[in-house]
Amino acid sequence: MLSGALTGGMVVSRTLSRYGSRTVFSLAGASHTHLLDALDRDGFTIIGGRHETGTIGAADGYARITGRLGIALVIADQGMPNAIMGLATAFHAASPVLVLVARLPDSWTEADAETDNLKLELAAPVVKWSRTVPSPERLAEYVDVACRRALSGRPGPVLLQLPQEFMAAAVKDPGAAVLPPPVISRPEPDPQAVRQAAELIAAAERPLVICGAGATRGRAGPGLKRLHQEFDLVIAGNGLGRGLVAEDWERSFNWPMAQSAARHADLVLVVGARLKQRLGYGLPPRFSAAAKFIQVDVEAEELGRNRRIDVPVVADAGRFCDRLADALAGMGYRGPPKRVWLREALHERIKYLLAIASADSDPIHPLRLGRAIMERLAPDDIVVGDGADVQNWMYGTLRIRRAPGFLDHYPLGGMGIGTPLAVGAAAAARELAAAGDIPRRVVLVTGDGSIGFYPAELHAAAMAGLPLVTIVCNDGAWGTELHGQRKAIGRAVNTELGCLPYEHLGEAFGGRGFRVERTTELGPALDAAFACTVPSVVNVLVDREAGAALKTDPRAALIMFDDLATGLGTQHAFGSSRQ
């Protein structure tokens, strides 16, 4: 190497340093040797994963909690096929993740090789942007553009392929590595749109605010709290948007809990959330056809997806909420006439859920497990949800009180990704605590089916010294399929898993494990797990028959699908009637 020159790995590391992220997730491999060396020397914490999707999923979890760039290192060839679920989850969740893919040297590439590692088509549908760096001298430029693409507008994963030999190459000019990072703009809302939104809210009897991940990323918490506290607006948080206003089940709920009563709203304000399946596409029967809609998003193309929007607003969610609160105050608005209308509409559902959660009988109902977890959660704890039936039950008992404070596999729904998300969230919590924040505990609540996808990522947590708490809700089956098949054909096929000893996962991967079979054992096991300084796994055997209610009792079903079978004809008819 020339005297005074940098290696390509050093250039990449120093370019990344400018973006604030101090943790990198990497599947170990010789292809990244010079880059890993530079990252380590520059003070990055490097957390090793056990699967490419696990590695990218951890970077995703880190990005969701910190709001910073998540950085993952994988290789091409065998690595890219394994990476797709991690990329797809981050893409649909709009997480700013940079994936650096090490490609074999050009000298190793044959005309008729097994894979064509020059092309990135495999990942194209699930990334915002992808490129291959053409020369060592352009490393800083390409990394800088990739970071900006991941973080700007609607965030999302980007993929940058690095020829392996570039990492060891001598680079005379560091280029963008020594420049300030680009400024990511936060668009202001149109004042006229703010005024129109305020007027619609002032005229509404039952306004409902739905906030999603875009509201958290747009730092809309202060504005939403003003809308909630000063003007008594009802809030429903979805996904990463949960906890922007602490859930109290009076005027602040999680969206799955609230959605069965959303049809009563006459005005819906959607802040940083997309009108996709979880929100019933914004259509009847989930919402009233007569309801007025205001939607705020940084991406204009999201406004009016599936439903006509009365007041579409292209803006940063935080800036819009601040301006809206100011406008309502300027109008002298004091809140809707029916201030707890949603709580009243949910009365039977809440009564039903609380009654089951309070029962101390055996076998353990998942809601009873949720109540025990909730009793031990601190307001700042981070909850990661995974699985199907267990996720439904946790929506019916766990309340999130700080954002970002809830992560799950939504909206893609790829089960198992919760484990690497939790690893990334725990790494993020530690990094933020080192910068002066209060340490936040991370609790993963998953099912016995979903824990089986990426269980070895618990080893990543142990090797990194992350005290992750994993709670497995174990009914010995693919629960939602079991009860769905029973309802459809009167029996179940290919749904059995057996009540396996998942507590041994904690012990096998360097942590601790606890097994719970009776209600009397639940509290002591959770207390012990919450006190651990190493990863812990609590294997809770729950009532297998509890899941049947999710298929038969609308009070129990918090993950709703059946009401979406409206057909294209109905959607088109509704759309044309709103023109």
Name the least confident of 116-130, 202-216, 239-253.
Answer: 116-130
Give how far Cα 83 sits from Cα of 75, 408, 570, Å. Answer: 9, 18, 38
Same domain, yes or no, for 520 and 461? yes
Same domain, yes or no, for 243 and 380? no
The pLDDT score that the predictor gives to residue 104 is 75
Confidence of residue 54 (pLDDT cuts 50, 70, 90): very high
Share of the chain above pLDDT 70, in %: 94
Confidence of residue 179 (pLDDT cuts 50, 70, 90): confident
* Contact call for residues 90 and 157 (beta carbons, < 8 A): yes
The pLDDT score that the predictor gives to residue 65 is 98
Render the burial of 25-46: b for 16+ CB within 10 Å, e for the rest: bbbeeebbebbbbbbeeeebbb
Q: Is residue 125 part of a domain?
A: yes
With a cut of 90, say whether residue 560 has pLDDT above it.
no
Name the least confident of 178-182, 340-344, 380-384, 528-532.
Answer: 178-182
pTM over 0.85: yes
Q: Is residue 578 part of a domain?
A: no
Residue range of the domain that includes 437: 347-563
* Contact call for residues 574 and 306 (beta carbons, < 8 A): no
* Rounded Cα–Cα distance for residues 104 and 32 (Å): 11
The pLDDT score that the predictor gives to residue 355 is 96
Q: Is residue 450 part of a domain?
A: yes
* Rounded Cα–Cα distance for residues 194 and 321 (Å): 9
With a cut of 80, say whether residue 114 has pLDDT above it.
no
Same domain, yes or no, for 525 and 396? yes
Domain count, the chain: 3
With a cut of 90, say whether residue 205 has pLDDT above it.
yes
Q: Which residues are 385's β-sheet partners?
A: 445
Same domain, yes or no, for 395 and 482? yes
* Rounded Cα–Cα distance for residues 27 and 39 (Å): 14
Q: Is residue 219 part of a domain?
A: yes
With a cut of 80, say whether residue 366 has pLDDT above it.
yes
Q: Is residue 186 part of a domain?
A: no
Average pLDDT score, the chain: 93
With a cut of 60, say whether residue 570 has pLDDT above it.
no
Which of 339, 366, 384 finishes a domain? 339
Same domain, yes or no, for 385 and 534? yes
Q: What is the DSSP string of 23-87?
A: EEEE---GGGHHHHHHHHHTT-EEEE-SSHHHHHHHHHHHHHHHSS-EEEEEESTTHHHHHHHHH
| Cα dihedral across residues 5, 7, 12, 16: positive or negative | negative
Average pLDDT rounded to a whole number, residues 168-192: 88
Average pLDDT rounded to a whole number, residues 303-320: 96
Q: Is residue 230 part of a domain?
A: yes
Q: Is residue 497 part of a domain?
A: yes
Same domain, yes or no, for 356 and 306? no
Angle subtended by helix axes 366-376 and 347-357, to nearest 10: 90
* Rounded Cα–Cα distance for residues 419 and 410 (Å): 14
Same domain, yes or no, for 70 and 155? yes
C-alpha closest to that of 544 among 350, 363, 402: 363
Confidence of residue 2 (pLDDT cuts 50, 70, 90): very low
Which of 178, 211, 246 finishes a domain? 178
Q: Is residue 237 part of a domain?
A: yes
Which of 277, 312, 339 finishes a domain? 339
CATH number where 478 lies:
3.40.50.970
With a cut of 90, say whether residue 435 has pLDDT above it.
no
Average pLDDT rounded to a whole number, residues 424-439: 90
With a cut of 60, say whether residue 1 has pLDDT above it.
no
Confidence of residue 572 (pLDDT cuts 50, 70, 90): very low
Same domain, yes or no, for 160 and 135? yes
Give how far Cα 484 sits from Cα of 219, 255, 447, Å. Answer: 40, 23, 17
Same domain, yes or no, for 352 and 477? yes
The pLDDT score that the predictor gives to residue 576 is 46
Same domain, yes or no, for 261 and 320? yes
Same domain, yes or no, for 359 and 326? no
3-state secondary structure of 543: coil
With a cut of 80, say whether residue 107 has pLDDT above it.
no
The pLDDT score that the predictor gives to residue 579 is 41
Name the least confident of 71-80, 179-188, 359-368.
Answer: 179-188
Reported as a single tens digit per residue, the pLDDT across 312-343 is 999 999 999 999 999 999 999 999 998 999 99
Average pLDDT rounded to a whole number, residues 474-488: 95
Same domain, yes or no, for 208 and 333? yes
- Class of residue 71 by CB neighbours under 10 A (exposed 0-12, middle 13-18, buried 19+): buried
* Rounded Cα–Cα distance for residues 374 and 289 (Å): 36
The pLDDT score that the predictor gives to residue 561 is 73
The pLDDT score that the predictor gives to residue 480 is 93
> Token match 């900006």: residue?
148
* Rounded Cα–Cα distance for residues 72 and 53 (Å): 10
CATH number where 257 lies:
3.40.50.1220
* Rounded Cα–Cα distance for residues 211 and 92 (Å): 16
Reported as a single tens digit per residue, the pLDDT across 154-163 is 999 999 999 9
